[in-house]
Amino acid sequence: MRRPAGVVSAGVRYRLGVASRAVAAIAGGYGVAALSAALLALCLPPLFGTSRSEAAMTGTLASFLVFAVAVMWVFAARTALRAWSGLAIAAAPMGLLVFLLTRSTGGAA
């Protein structure tokens, strides 16, 4: 007996969920890590008086930790939708802050 059109088997649904999580871990984790690196590079010089090169290096090194945590979060979340929404919730305020800081300072902190 054939399945009705539009019905997806549990195996296909599972594979699509894993594929979605993999894309979220790679692309979404990279995006969150890049935003955190940029935010730290912009915020550290005025807050702590570090040089811009030290702030960029610190932001870059910290972004490796952020990326690892984002990947762990994606695969620990109950659903792929929750994984994507968690990344979006983390990225939205960082993206807004980076936008506002680069707009107000011209990109130079």
For the segment 18-57, what is each residue's pLDDT rounded down to a tens digit? Answer: 999 999 999 999 999 999 999 999 999 999 999 999 999 9
Distance CA(99)–CA(79), nearest Å, equals: 30
Domain presence at residue 52 = yes
Do residues 93 and 43 lie in contact, with contact meaning Cβ atoms separated by under 8 Å? no
Question: Where in the sequence is the domain holding 81, given as residue range(s)?
Answer: 26-102
Domain presence at residue 12 = no
Distance CA(21)–CA(103), nearest Å, equals: 33
Looking at residue 5, what is its pLDDT? 65
Report how many domains make up the chain. Answer: 1
> 3-state DSSP helix/strand/coil percent for the chain, to nearest 5?
85, 0, 15
In the predicted model, is pLDDT for residue 17 greater than 90? yes
Domain presence at residue 63 = yes
Distance CA(43)–CA(15), nearest Å, equals: 41
In the predicted model, is pLDDT for residue 73 greater than 90? yes
Domain presence at residue 37 = yes
Q: How far is CA 93 from the centre of its chain?
A: 11
Distance CA(30)–CA(51), nearest Å, equals: 25
Looking at residue 44, what is its pLDDT? 95
Distance CA(31)–CA(7), nearest Å, equals: 34
Domain presence at residue 10 = no
Domain presence at residue 11 = no
Q: How far is CA 35 from the centre of its chain?
A: 7
Domain presence at residue 64 = yes
Domain presence at residue 17 = no
